[in-house]
Amino acid sequence: MGTTPGHSASRVRIEGRVQGVGFRAWVEREAAALGLSGWVRNRRDASVEASFHGDAAAVAEMLRRCHRGPPAAIVGKVHVLAEDEPATAGFDVRPTV
């Protein structure tokens, strides 16, 4: 949900071999490089969940990158969900839920 033109927000849940391969750190670096705010965390079901806020083109690029992931990952599926949480400052790695 954006409050300004050109702003976008998405939440994703990524399945596959995405834990124990540096996925969260990779997401944090990639999101920061794209100027996005948000967060990333592992889930107990072995998936990774992330929230991205920022320029619509940058969010779209981050979603594209999530389909590939870092070199050791094997991404099986990326679920793109609507994001209703407000944007945060910066990008955080959150605890597992």
Which are the catalytic amino acids? 24, 42
Cα 58 to Cα 42: distance, rounded to the nearest angstrom: 22
Rounded to the nearest 5 percent, the helix, strand and coil shares of the chain are 25, 40, 40
